[in-house]
Structure 1
Amino acid sequence: MSLKSLIPNPIKTALKNIIPLSVIDQLEIITGERDALTPPSRMIFIGDGDFKKVGELTVSHIKDLVGLNATDRVLDVGSGIGRVAIPLTKYINPPGGYDGIEIVKEGVDWCNKEVHKRFPHFNFHHLNVYNKMYNPKGTMQGHELRFPFESLTFDLVILNSVFTHMLEADFERYLAEISRVLKKGARGYITMFLLNEESRRLNAQGKNKYERHLTPFTDKTMVYLQDLPESMIAFDETYAREAFAKAGLTIQNVQFGNWCGRENTVDYQDLLSVSKI
Structure 2
Amino acid sequence: MHVDKHTMVPPEDLNIQFGGGDFLAVGREMFQFFRDKFDLQPQHKVLDVGCGAGRVAIGLTDYLEPPGEYHGFDTYPFGIEWCNERIAPHYPHFHFSISDVHNSTYNPFAQTKASEYVFPFEDDLFDVVVLRSVFTHMFPDDMLNYSSEIARVMRPGGHALITFFLLNEDSQAQQKRSGKGPAFQKFGLFYTENTEDPLDCVGYDEEFTRKMFAGCGLDISEVMYGSWCGRDGENMQDYVLLKKVLPL
Task: Please report the TM-score for the alignment, with normalisation by the length of structure 1.
Answer: 0.83
Aligned to 1:41: 12
Which residues of structure 2 form unaligned runs of 5+?
none
> Residue 96 of structure 2: SS of its match in structure 1?
strand
Q: Counterparts of 1:146 and 1:106 in 2: how far apart (Å)?
A: 22
1:50-87 per-position Cα deviation (integer Å, ceiling 9, x unaligned): 22222322333333222311111111101001011011
Q: Counterparts of 1:42 and 1:139 in 2: how far apart (Å)?
A: 27
Aligned to 1:214: 184
Aligned to 2:229: 260
What amino acid maps onto 1:272 in structure 2? V
Q: Counterparts of 2:7 and 2:37 in 1: how far apart (Å)?
A: 30
8 Å CA contact retained: 1:241, 1:251? yes
Aligned to 1:251: 220
Deviation at 1:35, TM superposition (A): 2.5
In the superposition, relative to structure 1, how do residues 48 and 252 fare at CA in structure 2: closer, same or farther (>3 Å)?
same
8 Å CA contact retained: 1:36, 1:114? yes
8 Å CA contact retained: 1:77, 1:157? yes
Q: Counterparts of 2:178 and 2:106 in 1: how far apart (Å)?
A: 27
> Residue 36 of structure 1: SS of its match in structure 2?
helix
Q: Counterparts of 2:240 and 2:62 in 1: how far apart (Å)?
A: 23
Aligned to 2:172: 200
Instruction: Identify which range, 169-178 or 128-137, moves more after superposition.
Output: 128-137
In the superposition, relative to structure 1, how do residues 215 and 107 fare at CA in structure 2: closer, same or farther (>3 Å)?
same
Q: Counterparts of 1:222 and 1:228 in 2: how far apart (Å)?
A: 12
Which residues of structure 1 form unaligned runs of 5+?
1-33
Aligned to 2:130: 158
8 Å CA contact retained: 1:66, 1:273? no
> Residue 158 of structure 1: SS of its match in structure 2?
strand
RMSD: 1.5
Q: Counterparts of 1:49 and 1:214 in 2: how far apart (Å)?
A: 24
Deviation at 1:186, TM superposition (A): 0.6
Deviation at 1:98, TM superposition (A): 0.5
Deviation at 1:206, TM superposition (A): 5.2
Percent identity at matched positions? Answer: 38
Matched, 1:85 2:53: no
Give structure 1 regions of 4+ aligned residues with deviation exceeding 6 angstroms: none
- Counterpart of 1:232 (choices 160, 183, 201) is 201
Instruction: Identify which range, 86-95 or 118-127, moves more after superposition.
Output: 86-95
> Residue 180 of structure 1: SS of its match in structure 2?
helix
Task: Please report the TM-score for the alignment, with normalisation by the length of structure 2.
Answer: 0.92
Instruction: Tell me which structure has the larger Cα radius of gyration.
Output: 1
